[in-house]
Chain A
Amino acid sequence: MTVDDHEAFARRWAEAIVGTSYVSMGRRVLAEHLLGLTQRLVDAALAVEFDPSAGRQIGVDMVAAHFTGTETLRGTLALISEQLPGLLGSLPDSADVAKRVAQLAASMAAGYADALRERSLDEQDAVYRAGLRARRQAEQALAASEAKFRAMFTEAAIGIGIGDLEGNITDANPALQKMFGYTLEEFTQLNVSAMVHPDDAPSVWETYAELIRGERDHFHMEKRFYRADGGEIWSHLTVSLVRDENNEPAYQVAMLEDVSERRHLQAKLEHQAYHDPLTSLANRQLVTEHLAQIFAGPGGQRRVGLCFLDLDGFKVVNDSLGHHVGDELLKTVADRLTRCCCAGQLVARMGGDEFVIIMEDTAGEHDVVMLADKVLTAMAEPIRVGTHELTVTASIGVVERPVAETNPERLLQAADITMYRAKADGKARYATFDRNRNDSEVVRFTLSATMLAAVERGEFFVEYQPLFRLRDRCLIGVEALVRWRHPTFGVLGPERFIDLAEQSGSIVQLGRWVLVRACEQARAWVDSFGAAAPFVSVNLAPRQLYEPGLVADVTDILVANRLEPASLQLELTEQALMGDGTGPLTMLRNLHGMGVRIALDDFGTGYWNIPDLRRLPLHELKLAGSFAVGLQSPSGLVDQRIVAALVDLAHALGLTVTAESIETRAQFGRFRAAGCDTGQGSLFAPPCAPEQIDALLRAFHPLCDISTEAR
């Protein structure tokens, strides 16, 4: 019996049991491990005091090393009974080897079995306890999660409701109960289908059906509901589908946020944005959007009508009786207008005392005229405000057009213009749309509205028409004539826009601009031609004479351009001097006193007669173009006499006389014969650019010999 024998036994043991149990050892380590056990077996078998229970401990230790397979035990016992006796050889006290080995093996088997049983029971115990612990933890987590959910459900500010797939409501949190005014008990009697609102879009319930069928997992929408007390709530609604573990729809959860207040506020703000706070009528914004809507659709045969109404003399009411009375008056007017209209007609206050009524789908102008008549009748009844009984009339512009032929802006503008015609025709009436007048009015309106900006943009320029001394044909002055190089309408003469400028008041700025421009040009001529430079004659509109700063302005402009007052002539019409008040006359006297030349333009067309001229501060008369026409006729001699008499009288008053519109040599000859001092007209030169005046001055100065062909 050698150590090698033991190792060989251990190797065979390893062979016998390898793979029958999982032990954490490679085969070499396994063989080493089994060598130790072999040694213990041999020692036990050879012990003087044989104790078979030593085998028992070896069995226990094997199980402890995780030899747990029954095949391990079988292989081990077979090996021991077959080969251990051979390893032991003969025993000292001739003890029974076979008996000892059998006893050891039996003991070892018992130890192995006991230990394995213990181990299995311990492991089962451990895994069951682990299972219990895991379950307890899961239950705690579940309870915690349920408690969290319950707290969230109960405390949530938003309403939460739970329902089954049939729509039966099974739970509702306090917020939802409060929102709807139902108790939980009442909720659980309800079905989702009872939550319908008449204004629900069909898509609401289609979407809901999709959710219930499992075709969508959730949806959001704003939806109205009725409360238990019949009141209405707006809610932001989210409904989610919850599925079971097989992914089948199981139940539904609805979350509702009460957005009623936000909705009301929104509605209020919307109303405010589109309505006039005083009269509660629609405002300009709503009119704009309403018209945009009408015009957005296909035009086709559709027509639209519009009454543009402006109260006559409202300003007087406001100024004399106060805004409070004015406001009350406007409210009454608004009521009456509303009563004149039926559904589908929009009454709006555009601002101030302007109102608009829009009629859709009219059959013709007649429809709108009828409405305008009705309105005028309604307005006829006096309006009582406090102690005042007021009679108010209105002017109405009536426009009725095919939708396809106009647009909102043009429609409103046409109605506005038409309304002004009603005013011009005497107020308290309506006027109907007149296309031709409208078109020219539109042009006038456009010119008027854009004139000041055009001054800024430099669209105006000045031409000069020479004034010749008839005696020696010397160029002694020029008349400044303003022109507008309009981007759309081309070059416009003063006759196209001066009246408009007078009406709008733009004439003050425009007139001043011309004055400055002309004086700058006069300066340029003085610089170039010295004493031979012409004076410039500038037209002054009646309105300008009422500007308190006129004299100071003129002074400033003269000073700025270092001009003698006498190099500037101001032309006025007879009309300008007919106004009330002495302001204009004082103004003229001051200018006259400064030495600025004052000319009376278009003399002979108005009411002034020669003796009246004595009290006016004048230097010159400009004879109206009609005299030139008279002198042209075959019976011109009579006219020539009249002109000669006028000239004589003017000279007697110390005034010079200019003949305008001289177009022919005959006219020229007769005016000169009649004693006129200066002349202007196309025979000499048309209005032209300053450079051309330069050329004329260079060509004829210093000869002052004026050729009749001079252009």
Chain B
Amino acid sequence: MEPPSWASDDIDIEHASPARVYDYYLGGSHNFAVDRQMAREAIELWPELPLVMQANRAFLRRSVRYLVNQGITQFLDIGSGIPTEGNVHEVVQAACPECRVVYVDIDPVAVAHSRAILADNPFADIVQADLRDVAGIFDDPRARRLLDLDQPIGVLMVAMLHFVTDQADPAGIVAQYRKMMPSGSYLVVSHATYEGRPDQAGPHMDLYRRAGAPLTMRSRHEIEALLEGFDPVEPGVVFMPLWRPDSPSDVDDHPERFSGYAVVGRRA
């Protein structure tokens, strides 16, 4: 018998990680062969995926700017992934240099890289945690150092909640965050849906499931239900490019191609 090991080795680069696959979609090289392999398979199934990811990233940028304009000065980005072009702290701090950003990711490589990039930034940091460990995240000293929970915060769950299966009770998790968020806070959500491209949904979910990161696409109605206790700001739950575009020219003729809903809700 092999001697038992008493702690699990949680660095797993034998398997693709959603954070690094996402980086590849966005043209980054912060990824390993296994991530690229999976990303290429996905793109083969669904050639427009990089565009979808770009649209998602563009929504992140617009929504964060919107929150800054609403006076939000501190952000909690859940599932932040590998830092890349247009990081939240860059977008935020371009407008407001002392605004705070706390990233959260479970992927140790993403966390290590973020920590290296943020080493010299006193107003941004990253916490390694599971999205579901709400208390752990808010209790983490790095988060407590940067976030003032007497003031409204912006919580970002961009391309995140579709990695939470129904069994894991996404609405319950969001509700736990809501309890921690002071009145006037915002929740930013983008979420994969099968309502844009029903033909693509099945194989795509299959691929992620095989890769060990099951993806649960949801309907507009289901996504609205996740935001209980938040008032969606205009224009409500819409396909990603339709959420407050910078200019009409940014809106594709077929926004449903982007297969993702976007919404920003305000905590009353």
- Bound pair: A and B? yes
Q: How many residues of B contact A (CB 8 A)?
A: 46
Contact A69 B27 (CB under 8 A): yes
- Residues of chain B within 8 A (CB-CB) of A28 are 246-247, 249-250
A10-39 vs B, CB cutoff 8 Å, 1 = contact: the mask equals: 000000000101111011110000000000
> For the complex, is A66 an interface residue (Cβ under 8 Å from B)?
yes
> For the complex, is B245 an interface residue (Cβ under 8 Å from A)?
yes
CB distance from B23 to the nearest CB of A (A): 8
Nearest A residue to B107, CB-CB: A134
Contact B27 A19 (CB under 8 A): no
> For the complex, is B58 an interface residue (Cβ under 8 Å from A)?
yes
Contact A126 B9 (CB under 8 A): no
Contact B27 A66 (CB under 8 A): yes
A227-270 vs B, CB cutoff 8 Å, 1 = contact: the mask equals: 00000000000000010010000110000000000000000000
Contact B4 A29 (CB under 8 A): no
Contact A24 B61 (CB under 8 A): yes
> For the complex, is A127 an interface residue (Cβ under 8 Å from B)?
yes
Contact A168 B1 (CB under 8 A): yes
Nearest B residue to A164, CB-CB: B1
Contact B247 A27 (CB under 8 A): yes
Nearest B residue to A142, CB-CB: B7
Task: Give the interface segment out of B28-36, B72-80, B193-201.
Answer: B28-36
- Residues of chain B within 8 A (CB-CB) of A133 are 112, 115-116
Contact A24 B85 (CB under 8 A): yes
Q: Decide: A19 near B7, CB < 8 A? Known: A26-B246, A131-B32, A131-B112.
A: no
Contact B82 A127 (CB under 8 A): yes
- Residues of chain A within 8 A (CB-CB) of B246 are 26-29
Contact B247 A22 (CB under 8 A): no
- Residues of chain A within 8 A (CB-CB) of B30 are 123-124, 126-127, 130
> For the complex, is A145 an interface residue (Cβ under 8 Å from B)?
yes
B24-56 vs A, CB cutoff 8 Å, 1 = contact: the mask equals: 001111111000000000000000001101100
Candidates A130, A149, A168; contact of B6 at CB < 8 Å: A149
- Residues of chain A within 8 A (CB-CB) of B50 are 19, 22
Contact B91 A127 (CB under 8 A): no
> For the complex, is B109 an interface residue (Cβ under 8 Å from A)?
yes
CB distance from A58 to the nearest CB of B (A): 18
Q: Decide: A137 near B29, CB < 8 A? Known: A23-B85, A127-B82.
A: no
Give Cα A67 to B27, complex, Å. 9
> For the complex, is B111 an interface residue (Cβ under 8 Å from A)?
yes
Q: Decide: A126 near B116, CB < 8 A? Known: A27-B249, A138-B11.
A: yes
Which residues of A from 43 to 95 have beta carbons under 8 Å from B? 66, 68-69
Q: Decide: A141 near B29, CB < 8 A? Known: A19-B54, A27-B247, A130-B109.
A: no
Contact B4 A242 (CB under 8 A): yes
Give Cα A149 to B246, complex, Å. 56
Nearest B residue to A251, CB-CB: B4
- Residues of chain B within 8 A (CB-CB) of A162 are 4
Contact A146 B29 (CB under 8 A): no
Give Cα A128 to B245, complex, Å. 36
> For the complex, is A119 an interface residue (Cβ under 8 Å from B)?
yes
Nearest B residue to A153, CB-CB: B6
CB distance from A518 to the nearest CB of B (A): 85
Q: How many residues of A contact B (CB 8 A)?
A: 42
CB distance from A155 to the nearest CB of B (A): 15
CB distance from A524 to the nearest CB of B (A): 84
> For the complex, is B122 an interface residue (Cβ under 8 Å from A)?
no
B129-172 vs A, CB cutoff 8 Å, 1 = contact: the mask equals: 00000000000000000000000000000000000000000000
Which residues of A from 213 to 228 have beta carbons under 8 Å from B? none
Give Cα A124 to B3, complex, Å. 35
- Residues of chain A within 8 A (CB-CB) of B115 are 133
Give Cα A121 to B8, complex, Å. 31
Nearest A residue to B83, CB-CB: A126
> For the complex, is B20 an interface residue (Cβ under 8 Å from A)?
yes
> For the complex, is A486 an interface residue (Cβ under 8 Å from B)?
no
> For the complex, is B108 an interface residue (Cβ under 8 Å from A)?
yes
> For the complex, is B218 an interface residue (Cβ under 8 Å from A)?
no
CB distance from A69 to the nearest CB of B (A): 6
Give Cα A27 to B53, complex, Å. 16
Give Cα A32 to B246, complex, Å. 13
A117-158 vs B, CB cutoff 8 Å, 1 = contact: the mask equals: 001110110110111011101110110011001000000000
- Residues of chain B within 8 A (CB-CB) of A22 are 26-27, 50, 53-54, 57, 84-86
- Residues of chain A within 8 A (CB-CB) of B58 are 26
Contact B29 A134 (CB under 8 A): no
Nearest A residue to B86, CB-CB: A24
Q: Decide: A129 near B29, CB < 8 A? Known: A27-B247, A250-B4.
A: no
- Residues of chain A within 8 A (CB-CB) of B109 are 127, 130-131, 134
- Residues of chain B within 8 A (CB-CB) of A26 are 58, 62, 245-247, 250
The chain A residues found within 8 Å of chain B, CB to CB, are 19, 21-24, 26-29, 66, 68-69, 119-121, 123-124, 126-127, 129-131, 133-135, 137-139, 141-142, 145-146, 149, 162, 164, 168, 170-171, 242, 245, 250-251
Q: Which 8 residue pairs are nearest across A and B when measured between Cβ atoms?
A: A24-B86, A26-B246, A130-B113, A123-B29, A134-B108, A145-B7, A68-B27, A66-B85
The chain B residues found within 8 Å of chain A, CB to CB, are 1, 3-11, 13, 20, 26-32, 50-51, 53-54, 57-58, 61-62, 82, 84-86, 90-91, 108-113, 115-116, 245-247, 249-250
Contacts A/B (CB < 8 Å), 11 sampled: A19-B50, A22-B86, A24-B90, A26-B247, A27-B247, A28-B250, A127-B32, A127-B109, A131-B112, A162-B4, A171-B3
- Other A-B pairs, 9, CB within 8 Å; known A22-B50, A26-B62, A134-B111: A22-B54, A28-B250, A68-B27, A129-B112, A130-B110, A133-B112, A134-B109, A135-B11, A146-B7
